[in-house]
Amino acid sequence: MIKVAKFGGSSLASAKQFQKAGNIIFEDIDRRYVVPSAPGRRFDGDTKVTDMLYQCYNTACKGDNFTPILKEIQERYQEIIDGLSLDLSLESEFREIHRQIENRTGIDYAASRGEYLNGILLANYLNYEFVDAGEVIFFKEDGSFDDEKTNDCLGDKLNRIERAVIPGFYGTAPDGTVKTFSRGGSDITGSIIARAVHADLYENWTDVSGFLLTDPHVVNNPEVISTITYKELRELSYSGATVLHGDCILPIRREGIPINVRNTNQPEDDGTLIVESTCIKPKYTITGIAGMRGFASINIEKDMMNTEIGFGRKVLQVFEECGISFEHTPSGIDTFTVYVHQKELEAKEQQIITKLNKLVRPDSIDLETDLALIAVVGRGMRRARGTAGRIFSALAHAHVNVKMIDQGSSELNIIIGVEDKDYETAIRAIYDIFVTTQA
């Protein structure tokens, strides 16, 4: 077998965490390719190395002295080196980083150095070969990921290497500069590598024992999801679940490579297995609950709207012209509502209202703010009767007013809009009706 193991920042934040990761890797000879994140927080109140690097670069751009911050970062790595008793020096790397930041090479370069340095360190500790992600992962001129070029290059490179460490989060743009994925992009790197080497399993090691059924900050000790499909994970990740970067699924989905989310601190736990499809029935009707705050709705009313061909297109055209993406568009005979992120709307609300009035001549336009969207996701909902009814009943019992409901044609998810103040109450009510009372 071939396994790709990605370790998150909390799993590599200190020498002690490095040792845990090392034990996990050494206990299974199939874990041949390892993807590290930059060191994360060692304790509450600590700062992630990536955030320190952003701070370092921003300080340099202001013309202020960034050397003390960079020195502090270097001390973080030296602490790990000393704790592992490694014969390794990063002096030359930090001199180069100092020079590049001083020359304003780019914030992507600065941010990527956390993974780069951790990759060197981890390869030294494991006695694996170090492969710089900048040499094997590529982006296009427009900034999008160049999947085919990367897959060919990575496959050629890694098929000649028995065991390697490849840092996550970054690659190279066509002009040779460093380009990063969005935050959490080491998850994507891991899946890209898993696809390139035709891995049998992609392990994602973090600080939780798998994907939880909902946010543990809202519900105390929610259950772990044992098995979840790619589609379900995409829905939950898009709606706010944060254990994995949602885009990490795309490179390996076409290969059918399963993902196993595991806990570095509790490696004996099975974690969550993410698969293309499964005949395993979910324990509950729903697989998970996720949500996000900070939405607003634009409610448009116009008599006989349903007879006006192209009305919806014209409305969405306004948002396109203003550079704002929409989340949901529930509608009625004479009403059309658009849900968007509130921060994006606030900067352009009057521009949007003016354009809507000119283009579609509505009878009225009403804005509603401080809304939250909650996604109830589960393959089991397709076969269960009365799922929406149970949700409404639970929310009514909890005195939560439903502002919007939208169900996808796949019957895989139901989106509920509520007032922001009811967000946590709503999630607890839904969890209780499907999990607590059924357990």
* pLDDT tens per residue across span 157-203: 999 999 999 999 999 999 999 999 988 889 999 999 999 999 999 99
User: Quick one: residue 294, left, alpha or beta (phi over 0 = left, psi -120 to 50 = alpha)?
Assistant: left
Model confidence at 404, pLDDT cuts 50, 70, 90, reads: very high
> What pLDDT, in 10s, does the model give residues 22-73?
999 999 999 999 999 999 999 999 999 999 999 999 999 999 999 999 999 9
Q: Determine the pLDDT at residue 134.
A: 97
Answer yes or no: CATH 3.40.1160.10 is held by domain 6-199: yes
| Domain boundaries along the sequence of the chain | 6-199, 288-436
Q: What is the separation, in whole angstroms, between the first and last Cα of the chain?
A: 37
Determine the average pLDDT of the residues in 206-216. 92
Lowest mean pLDDT among 73-77, 80-84, 106-110, 232-236: 232-236
Task: Please give the pLDDT value at position 267.
Answer: 97
**Chain CA centroid to CA 304, Å:** 42
Give the sign of the dihedral formed by CA 206, CA 208, CA 213, CA 215: negative
Token pair recorded at residue 43: 């304790």
Q: What is the pTM of this model?
A: 0.87
**Distance in angstroms (rounded) separating the CA atoms of residues 310 and 353:** 18
% pLDDT > 90, the chain: 85
pLDDT band at 355 (very low <50, low <70, confident <90, very high): very high
Q: What are phi and psi of 124, to 5 degrees?
A: -65, -40
Q: Could you tell me if 152 and 21 are in contact, meaning their C-beta atoms sit under 8 angstroms apart? A: no
Identify the pLDDT of residue 155. Answer: 96
Specify which of 49-63, 201-215, 373-387 reaches the highest per-range mean pLDDT.
49-63
Q: Residue 93 pLDDT > 60, yes or no?
A: yes
Q: Which architecture does CATH list for 288-436?
A: 2-Layer Sandwich (3.30)
Is the pLDDT at 439 greater than 70? The verdict is no
Calpha distance 115→38 (Å, rounded): 4
> What tens digit of pLDDT does each residue of 263-313 get?
999 999 999 999 998 888 888 999 999 999 999 999 999 999 989 999 999
**Is the pLDDT assigned to residue 409 strictly greater than 80?**
no
Whether pLDDT at 114 is above 80: yes
Q: Report whether 6 contacts 186 (CB < 8 A).
A: yes
The first and second tokens of residue 336, run together, are: 């059309």
Cα(271)–Cα(288) distance, integer angstroms: 15
CA distance 8 to 4: 13
Q: Tell me the C-alpha distance between 103 and 122, whole Å.
A: 28
Report pLDDT for 231: 87
pLDDT at 279 (0 to 100): 86
Cα-based torsion angle of the residue sequence 95, 96, 101, 105 in order, rounded to the nearest 10 degrees: 170
Q: Give the residue carrying structure tokens 């494991």.
A: 126
Q: Determine what percent of the chain is predicted with pLDDT higher than 70.
A: 99
